[in-house]
Amino acid sequence: MTMGTDTRPSAASLVYVYAVTRDDAALTGRAPLPAGLGTAPRLLSAGSVAALVCDVPEEDFGTEALTRQLEDLDRLEALARAHHDTIESAAAHATVLPLRMTTVYRDETRVREVLTERADTFTRALDRLQGHVELGVKVFAEPEGVQDGPHSEAPDLPEASPGRAYLQRRRDQRRRNRHALGTAGAVAERTARLAAESARARVSHRVQQGALATSRGENIANDAYLVPATDVHRFRHAVRELSAPEQGVRVEVTGPWAPYSFTDWAQSPQDDHVR
């Protein structure tokens, strides 16, 4: 196939697995995928399924070396981006079952053994995912978006002392916080009910807090939905409409992505170690 020339390094190497797909013509003849983490991506077939793989240096992806890489935030970000870009490029042409980042095997023989041993599991997963994409829905409470109450102007009156003004501001802030949190929770519940009508599956992720928080506001819900590819526009529009009239709430809809959140059950807990 033309997705990449087999240019394996002469030094000791391991086999990095991005994803599992069907062994068919969907990726054959396509333009080369992103360079990714090592040599050009290629397919290793075993029966009816295949693995999208590349070769990586053992000195960088052996167990101890990989642990060091994952402790380096800059390197971790680069690994995640390369892993993601390669899978997304493949998913544009075929149904893929993404594997966890840093799924590494000793050699091609071991990869083919795993494909053969778990062919039925992989096939069921690919059948489930075919024609579907992942959409992310995050709900945020934003108290600063709540309008002031009827008494919020009191601190600006001439007779309002600095102490009274301070207490009033504190009361207004608490009111905005309560309103935003309550409304965001209600929007999250309505979103889940709405999504259940069209999504095939839902996964709730940990809300983003602390160092993981990259957006303003407090993250109330962080969910992923497995949605038919033909329903992406309708799903996105319906979810956004739910929050449009609400104060103090922001909803982010991300994707479509390859279905990263819906593949753990098809992957062994040991697949993220060198085997």
Q: What angle do CA 218, 228, 31 make, to 5 degrees?
A: 100
pLDDT of residue 1: 41
Rounded to the nearest angstrom, the gap between the alpha carbon of residue 152 and the centroid of all alpha carbons in its chain is 41
pTM: 0.77
Rounded distance between C-alpha atoms, residue 128 and residue 25, angstroms? 20
Burial class from Cβ neighbours inside 10 Å (0-12, 13-18, 19+) for residue 137 reads buried
CATH of domain 133-260: 3.30.70
User: Which tokens belong to 113?
Assistant: 């053994």
**Alpha helix (H) ranges present in the chain?**
58-61, 63-71, 73-91, 108-117, 119-129, 162-196, 232-243
Give pLDDT, residue 26.
72
Q: Cα–Cα distance between 32 and 42 in angstroms, integer?
A: 9
CA distance 68 to 30: 35
| Distance of alpha carbon 122 from alpha carbon 239, whole angstroms | 31
Note the pLDDT of residue 168: 65
Nearest-Å Rg of the Cα atoms of the chain is: 24
Q: Give the pair of three-digit tokens for residue 201.
A: 């599956």
pLDDT at 27: 74
Q: Which residue shows structure tokens 């799924």?
A: 103
pLDDT for res 34? 67
Residues of the chain with pLDDT under 70: 1-11, 25, 28-36, 144-160, 165-166, 168-169, 172-173, 175-176, 208-215, 244-246, 265-275
- How many C-beta neighbours within 10 Å does residue 152 have? 15
Q: Where are the domains of the chain?
A: 13-130, 133-260
User: Are 123 and 85 spatial neighbours (Cβ–Cβ below 8 Å)?
Assistant: no
pLDDT value for 256: 96
- Whole-angstrom distance, CA of residue 271 vs CA of residue 274: 8
